[in-house]
Amino acid sequence: MSEALLKEIYEEVVSIRKKLEMLEDTIIPKEKITEDELSEILKLKEESVEGEHIEWKKLKRELSL
């Protein structure tokens, strides 16, 4: 393949990628989260990494399920 053809293919791929990103933004709009939501997410992430959890059986007993 010639260098010119490769460059043309690359430019087409870049163009398609930009169009896909625009479609993605249209289909799945980006949501902004509040500081409270972010802190809650980070807290939950930290708890999950540290292994803090409630056993399913214990939770079912507490909730009478």
pLDDT tens, residue by residue, 33-57: 899 999 999 998 888 888 767 788 8
Distance CA 10, CA 1 (A): 13
Q: Is the pTM of this model over 0.95?
A: no
Distance CA 62, CA 4 (A): 69
| Every domain of the chain and the residues it spans | 3-62
- pLDDT-above-90 percentage for the chain: 51
pLDDT of residue 49: 80
Q: Looking at residues 1-16, what average pLDDT do you find?
A: 94
